[in-house]
């Protein structure tokens, strides 16, 4: 193999200059030497894999650096070659491309999932800086999928699932339609081998029955278009197995009910010919209502453009037809790779590049607001689904969002500040709830308020990665501020209990503690205390041990004062619902901050043994909020009793948050209310008012 020239191994390099081909030849020899003696699971020499990847990359006519990176993409991972070696030999750009493609095997992760998530994050961020990274990675994955039979069945399924969930959607997001289809098909084959074989057999049997229909349609279309003066290339194609399987699953159909297993493509010279051809085809066969999509006027997010229509062909067979120009066809087939394949100034191509760049930039935006790699990957998965809805801003601008997106997603798509401050939305000039899903053609307007902030409940229904990442970032920032304030109060209490004062501890002691404990700063330590990740008593002892102060045991610490306005750093336990006036105790819960229970709470009693985590707390005499409390009433089942009870609660100055009643239809009914009261005295006032109602037989506070 060493005597064969690179032009024989990669015959499709004719688009490059002789100097570039020599550069690629050098990279091939380097890669062959590095992988010498290594074999793939199939038994083939390992060099056959980077060579196959380079061949796919050269088919796209990417530049010489990309072909070299394809040949070298596994050397830092599987051999002793380093990034610095590649940098010295082949230049900085090639080294960066290879680094973006390499896995992070040298770092220890808690789990395989963490490692995978970190690999994806690294690859996607490298791709955001240089789209060639993902093109080479997709070529790498496609060749791996083509040779997956040699791999262990369990690993085969894992790789196939990863391909169908991540790589295939990325391929379609970049407009690589051929790659997308082949990856889906191969993943389906390895993920569900039995279903694949059964479906392939059924299609083979159906192919003979429907061949006559397909030929008849092809002849009719090829004759009719030239008669109308339209030059066109018309091709018929069989739909892929996976798309048929997906339709069967989503629409609960049997194979015999999926009639449109054939599609046709009409390629014409310009945009006006697309619409002329559409009119002629609608005259030839009747269109199916609601099955027409104009992706030329409103392109898909990845830049894809075509007219899609479904017609009723001979013998009542549904036929799907795509109509597009040659330039649209190039973009549909090779997507973002068109940038390198065709140095064209076509407006369509520039638009596709602009859309791709916008999406790649959004990856960097999401990364900047995301905590860990797993969360980043979760956001990206959410954002990779290809179905879109197109909506209008009040100024008439078109925006594309994933199907199922809500008005909150729209607000964040416009601008982060609009999302963070939105309080209401109008769809087609009518006020709607923020969780309302938007549909194609809606006009959406967001109403904001200066002091509004994101609601954690939004996370339950937002659809886009950007909205989810921005909401979580805001909540994390808010929680960090609140937990720092709580952590400082807890630490001051612990220091006082040891007979010292916080003011006597100098900044150098804090710096030393941060270094020894692996924290970045004093703020991080305080935040960790507030979130329960560190114990205030232990931090206090370490600080005092680092200083000249000598702690004295046994001095009372004083209590943490609960005002009710601490935010997420202080939470009130649902098991006992404490309210001001109740004797309370605080428990430091890891990751949640300070959890406040009543003294007699059964749940709290179970964990009293962990004394280090329990601290004394007391209510501030002037609390600043309303608190939830549950009550149970047994009332005589008479007309109007619910209205009387609700009226009495309102007159006593309490809010009703929730009400429920049992299903018993006897003389008595049990009612459960969740009320919002200021304190225990306020609750007593409400209960006295309820006891005055004649129909109320019994009333009690519910704590469990």
Grade residue 109 by pLDDT with cuts at 50, 70 and 90: very low
85 CB contacts (<8 Å, ≥6 apart)?
A: none
Give the per-residue pLDDT at 114. 60
Q: Which CATH class is domain 390-463?
A: alpha beta
pTM of the model: 0.55
| Token pair recorded at residue 226 | 């030239």
Higher per-residue pLDDT: 328 or 558? 328
pLDDT for 267 equals 93
> Where are the chain's structural domains?
6-146, 194-348, 390-463, 473-619, 627-702
Could you tell me which residue, 176 or 636, shows the higher pLDDT?
636
178 phi, psi to nearest 5 deg: -60, -45
Contact, 411 vs 463, CB < 8 A? no
| pLDDT one-digit tens code per residue, 68-80 | 999 998 888 878 8
Report the pLDDT value the prediction gives residue 161, as an integer from 0 to 100.
87
Pick the CATH number of 194-348 from 3.30.450.20, 3.40.50.1980, 3.40.50.300, 3.30.460.10: 3.30.460.10
| pLDDT tens digits, one per residue of 4-26 | 667 777 888 888 888 888 899 89
The SS3 call for residue 276 is: helix
Highest mean pLDDT among 128-142, 269-283, 334-348: 269-283
| Predicted local confidence at residue 557, as pLDDT | 47
- Is pLDDT at 324 greater than 90 in this prediction? yes
> Which of 258-267, 629-638, 639-648 comes out lowest in average pLDDT?
258-267
Q: What percent of the chain has pLDDT over 70?
A: 80
Q: Rounded CA gap, 196 and 31, in Å?
A: 37
Torsion 536-540-541-545 (CA) sign: positive
CATH number for the domain running over 627-702:
3.30.70.260
Whether the pLDDT of residue 254 is over 80: the answer is no
Average the pLDDT over 115-123 and give the result.
63
Please report the pLDDT score of residue 39 as a whole number: 87
pLDDT for residue 440 is more than 90:
no
CATH code of the region 6-146? 1.10.3210.10
Q: Using CB atoms within 10 A of its CB, is residue 442 exposed (0-12), middle (13-18) or buried (19+)?
A: middle
Residue with tokens 């010279």, as numbered in its chain? 269
Q: Average pLDDT in the 457-466 region?
A: 84
By CB atoms closer than 10 A (0-12, 13-18, 19+), residue 447 is middle
637 contacts: CB under 8 Å, gap ≥ 6: 665, 666, 667, 668, 669
Q: What is the pLDDT of residue 542?
A: 76
Catalytically active residues, by annotation: 77-78
Between these two residues, 314 and 118, which has the higher pLDDT value? 314
Q: Is the pLDDT of residue 550 over 60?
A: no
pLDDT attached to residue 684? 94
pLDDT reported for residue 323 = 94
Is pLDDT of 578 > 70?
Answer: yes
């Amino acid at each position: 193999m060493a005597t064969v020239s690179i032009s024989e191994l990669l015959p499709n390099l004719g688009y490059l200059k002789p100097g570039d081909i020599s550069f690629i030849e050098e990279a091939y020899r380097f890669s062959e030497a590095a992988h010498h003696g290594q074999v793939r699971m199939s038994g083939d020499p390992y060099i056959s894999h980077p060579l196959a990847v380079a061949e796919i990359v050269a088919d796209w006519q990417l530049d010489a650096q990309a072909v070299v990176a394809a040949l070298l993409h596994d050397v830092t991972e599987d051999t002793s070659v380093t990034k610095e070696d590649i940098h010295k030999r082949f230049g900085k750009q090639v080294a960066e491309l290879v680094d973006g493609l390499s896995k992070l095997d040298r770092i220890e992760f808690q789990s395989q999932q963490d490692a995978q998530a970190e690999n994806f994050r690294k690859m996607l961020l490298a791709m955001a800086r240089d789209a060639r990274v993902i093109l080479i990675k997709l070529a790498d994955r496609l060749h791996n999928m083509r040779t997956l039979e040699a791999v262990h069945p369990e690993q085969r399924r894992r790789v196939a699932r990863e391909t169908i969930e991540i790589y295939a959607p990325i391929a379609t997001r970049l407009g690589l339609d051929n790659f997308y289809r082949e990856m889906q098909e191969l993943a389906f084959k390895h993920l569900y081998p039995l279903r694949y074989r059964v479906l392939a057999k059924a299609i083979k049997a159906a192919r003979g029955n429907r061949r006559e229909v397909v030929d008849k349609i092809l002849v009719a279309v090829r004759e009719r278009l030239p008669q109308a003066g339209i030059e066109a290339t018309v091709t018929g194609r069989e739909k892929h197995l996976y798309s048929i399987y997906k339709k069967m699953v989503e629409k609960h159909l049997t194979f015999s009910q999926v009639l449109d297993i054939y599609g046709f493509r009409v390629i014409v010279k310009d945009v006006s010919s697309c619409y002329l051809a559409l009119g002629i085809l609608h005259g030839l066969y009747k269109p199916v209502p609601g099955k027409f999509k104009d992706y030329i006027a409103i392109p898909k997010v990845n830049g894809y453009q075509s007219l899609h229509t479904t017609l009723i062909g001979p013998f009542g067979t549904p036929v799907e037809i795509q109509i597009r120009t040659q330039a649209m066809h190039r973009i549909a087939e090779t997507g973002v790779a068109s940038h390198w394949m065709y140095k064209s100034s076509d407006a369509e191509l520039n638009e596709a590049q602009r859309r791709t760049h916008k999406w790649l930039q959004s990856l960097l935006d999401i990364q900047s607001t995301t905590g860990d790699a797993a969360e980043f990957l979760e956001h990206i998965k959410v954002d990779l689904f290809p179905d879109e809805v197109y909506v209008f801003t009040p100024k008439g601008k078109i925006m594309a969002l994933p199907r199922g997106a809500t008005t909150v997603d729209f607000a964040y798509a416009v601008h982060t500040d609009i999302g963070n401050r939105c309080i209401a939305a109008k769809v087609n000039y009518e006020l709607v709830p923020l969780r309302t899903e938007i549909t194609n053609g809606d006009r959406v307007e967001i109403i904001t308020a200066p002091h509004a902030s994101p609601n954690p409940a939004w996370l339950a229904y937002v659809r886009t990665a950007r909205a989810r990442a921005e909401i979580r970032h805001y909540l994390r920032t808010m929680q960090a501020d609140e937990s720092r304030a709580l952590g400082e109060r807890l630490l001051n209490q612990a220091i006082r209990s040891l007979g010292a004062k916080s003011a006597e501890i100098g900044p150098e002691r804090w710096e030393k503690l941060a270094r020894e404990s692996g924290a970045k700063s004093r703020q991080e330590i305080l935040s960790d205390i507030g979130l329960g990740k560190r114990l205030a008593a232990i931090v206090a002892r370490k600080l005092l041990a680092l200083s000249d102060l000598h702690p004295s045991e046994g001095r009372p610490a004083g209590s943490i004062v609960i005002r009710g306005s601490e935010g997420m750093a202080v939470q009130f336990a649902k098991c006992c619902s404490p309210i001001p006036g109740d004797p309370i105790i605080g428990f430091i819960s890891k990751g949640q901050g300070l959890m406040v229970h009543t003294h007699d709470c059964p749940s709290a009693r179970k964990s009293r043994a962990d004394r280090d985590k329990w601290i004394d707390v007391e209510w501030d005499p002037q609390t600043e909020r309303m608190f939830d409390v549950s009550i149970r009433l047994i009332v005589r089942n008479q007309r109007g009793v619910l209205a009387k009870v609700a009226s009495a609660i309102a007159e006593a100055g309490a809010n009703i948050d929730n009400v429920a009643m049992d299903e018993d239809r006897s003389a008595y009914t049990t009612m459960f209310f969740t009320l919002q009261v200021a304190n225990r005295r306020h609750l007593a006032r409400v209960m006295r008012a309820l006891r005055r109602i004649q129909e109320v037989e019994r009333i009690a506070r519910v704590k469990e």
